[in-house]
Structure 1
């Protein structure tokens, strides 16, 4: 029987981590693990950690960082890209002034539980803000929609009237865009809501900042590629920057990517403008020349993705009163929305990842 060696997504966080560590060790990478502190009152789990594999000269002036699992469940595709990169490492051209750092599972708790949030219930990509924040004094635009999105959510057909009310807010493309911005920008006043940014730094943020301090601050140039799934057309990988399109660094990176870079701030991207992102925080931490972009792979229609998030949050808000079978349903919907099992989709993802990685390396070497 022939061996099926076509690419596939990891089956779980545990399998993904084991493969990542084994392959990195076999290739001679410098491997470092950053354990996550347990959260009081949270789920009890086996030890969780964010793991790093460093390839290249210790004193390289240029560093490319590839991060997976910022949004937990999105780590399936991100880890697949990292494993794919390592599979080609031995034949990859080397540059004495270039190093690579692969960061596996920035949010390992979310990866383990098939959720986007951290163990504190926080969207990590909204958590990189200057605390304290004052949500009571500054209620979010999100709060106007929370009841329809989560509190009054019920699986169909029971929740049909609530769904009709929500859909009425997005009958035109401009209204849908405004609704997306209000919902996804990030909020700090509804702990039981979507895209909640928290009231203090999370364990994942602390681990990430320790990784950046240990690896990126002493370089001449650094580039962060943060891997995501869930927005955009099926299998397409959009390059996203938090910078406005007229910023010098945006223009420079856009030339590296043949004009394909999209700006959240400029309204060009599949993502609305977001506060507290990993990429913006990276640029703030690194005082030398730094670049940071997200690579977002489309998976499913936007409404399907949103409804998976709503079902997941609703279930976990009321877990004690709901049958345990709904937990499996929530995980199934999240996997379908953020980690397509189809080989064709993964092939698109890996091909695009290779293209983007090559552009990053060529761009840094020409800068």
Structure 2
């Protein structure tokens, strides 16, 4: 079963880890509420020179439900096999615990964490998002009151070219509208800083490493698409794609369920690695794209523009977000976990042959 909420998920994660004898640690998020909101780690050290797999959940808070279920599955079914082969693993539960606790996708700062791992000193990426913000969020109203705005929005996507421009402007990320969708922020968030601390803390020399970061919301329901921010001709992409039987997709191309995104957690992971590093996103589809988008719009409208109506609309918005990112469907979860088992097996086999240069 999917966990019911952040607290239940955290308790189960720590219980399974302790039962199996793994090292655990908690990293409280002071800005988000302190000790009851933390990112928790369970790990098993590798044998000398052996690779390490990192498995993270909740980069986008509410998406942690499926990610946590996969982490439970790993501890129950895969950890012994990985440890028996000498491989290490680091499981990172609820990278964005505030979003998980509130059933929101953003951090406590209102930031999309998967757009926050950019070099802010190098300047902010350009975006066309401003052209759509008013229709997407500011003038949004739940139907039937907002029907005129919805017609204007749909009329801007009648041709394929217009639709692609709108999709790219919405999903690639933006750094101009703090109350808008996919806002990447103007500085590193607390969740990013804690993530970076965790990765620096749980590095095992220059052993080869691979990250699997689990998400929900894009693609066909239940389908788990494997994603990389690298171009398809990058040697690391080619190697990972070989492990994954040709199923890896580059978000730098038009064939993936995700648009090209700057500032992903996977990029941030690779930058922190000391030796050979690989980073993969696993995206599980939930519902058609429009209901998912509209759940996000309602959530942001309630947070920023609903005014006196915010209290009445917070619960409906929360329900919509759960339907969009946490389907209450046992068959969906069964498909998700089966796909996770497949990917875990691929990573196990792919990393077995990894050794540092010079190891005997």
The residue matched to 1:262 in structure 2 has which SS?
A: strand
> What displacement does 1:220 show?
1.9
User: Which residue number in structure 2 is paired with residue 3 of structure 1?
Assistant: none
User: Which residue number in structure 2 is paired with residue 168 of structure 1?
Assistant: 155
Which of these residues, 94, 114, 131, is aligned with residue 105 of structure 1? 94
User: Which residue number in structure 1 is paired with residue 11 of structure 2?
Assistant: 18
1:84 aligns with 2:78: no
2: distance between equivalents of 1:95 and 1:209? 28
> What displacement does 1:58 show?
6.5
Number of aligned positions between the proteins? 354
The residue matched to 1:341 in structure 2 has which SS?
A: coil
1:144 aligns with 2:131: yes
- Alpha-carbon distance change, 200 to 113 in structure 1, aligned in 2, over 3 angstroms: same
After TM superposition, the score normalised by the length of structure 1 is: 0.92
Contact 1:61–1:98 (Cα < 8 Å) also in 2: yes
1: distance between equivalents of 2:310 and 2:58? 28
1:1-367 counterparts in 2 under 5 A? 8-38=1-31, 47-57=36-46, 59=48, 61-89=50-78, 92=81, 94-132=83-121, 140-216=127-203, 218-318=205-305, 320-367=307-354
Contact 2:44–2:83 (Cα < 8 Å) also in 1: no
1: distance between equivalents of 2:209 and 2:104? 29
Unaligned ranges ≥5, structure 1: 1-7
The residue matched to 1:230 in structure 2 has which SS?
A: strand
Deviations 1:47-91 (A, max 9, x none): 311000002447453100000000000000000010111122575
After TM superposition, the score normalised by the length of structure 2 is: 0.94
> What displacement does 1:174 show?
4.2
> What displacement does 1:132 show?
4.0
Unaligned ranges ≥5, structure 2: 355-360
The residue matched to 1:177 in structure 2 has which SS?
A: helix
2: distance between equivalents of 1:96 and 1:359? 14
- Alpha-carbon distance change, 91 to 201 in structure 1, aligned in 2, over 3 angstroms: closer
2: distance between equivalents of 1:90 and 1:247? 30
1: distance between equivalents of 2:272 and 2:34? 31
Contact 2:55–2:213 (Cα < 8 Å) also in 1: yes
User: Which residue number in structure 1 is paired with residue 357 of structure 2?
Assistant: none
